[in-house]
Amino acid sequence: MEGYLTESRKSRFDAVLSQRTKHFTVATEDVYQLHNTSAVMRSCDVFGIQEINIVEEQNSKNIDREIAMGAQKWVDLNRYQTVKDCISDLKQKGYQIVATTPHTNDCELHDFDVTKKSCFFFGRETEGLSQEVLDQADCYLKIPMVGFTESLNISVSAAIILQHVTTKLKQTAINWQLTEKEVLEKRLDWCKKTIKSYDEIAERYDVLKK
């Protein structure tokens, strides 16, 4: 299938995939403003986070394609109807749950241990994270602030945190990149989303094989 891609596109796939990771992931909990979730997805793509998890117990909407700027093609989206299901699945995958909220046992961003496989949870615009997430969290993370404003927009918070932790992660000796199998799966997936006549070509090859 990659024979139908330009050399420039194949090189771009190689470059982007070499920086992709599942060591970190992000989860949003019932975010009300659609553009916030879309912007978080865009940040995940920009900083090499391959997966984003969305909990939609109360709010269920489609990703805003204009704000995501095509990121929905390149980032994997996992949807959950309950916080319980989301946290259970993430923990089975080996992630620690990180609640991004001010708390008595806060860890400030510059002190965060990037060696641990982590999912960063972001809550609703006004209420923040639910008590269920706070109770299930393995640690609490906050961004140091020195102004009068005590909170940041969810998409801004996500961008700051992801930029910091991915930069620190790449300075470690941890094997943070996608596995060879994951890379191959993504190459095929991206081919499907890039080649306009993919289905027709795939059908033709299938006929030839028979």
d(CA 63, CA 61): 7
Give yes or no for a contact between 124 and 29, defined as CB atoms under 8 angstroms apart: yes
pLDDT recorded at residue 7: 86
**C-alpha distance from residue 124 to each of 46, 87, 159, 191 (Å):** 22, 17, 16, 35
pLDDT recorded at residue 124: 76
pLDDT recorded at residue 32: 59
| Among candidate residues 35, 34, 40, 64, the one with its CA nearest the CA of residue 53 | 40
Fold of 21-176: Alpha/beta knot (3.40.1280)
53 strand-pairing partners = 27, 78
Average predicted confidence (pLDDT) for the chain: 85
Going from N- to C-terminal start, the domains of the chain cover 1-20+179-210, 21-176
Which residues in the chain land under pLDDT 70?
1-5, 32-34, 57-70, 103-104, 125-126, 196-210
pLDDT recorded at residue 210: 43
DSSP structure class, residue 21 = B
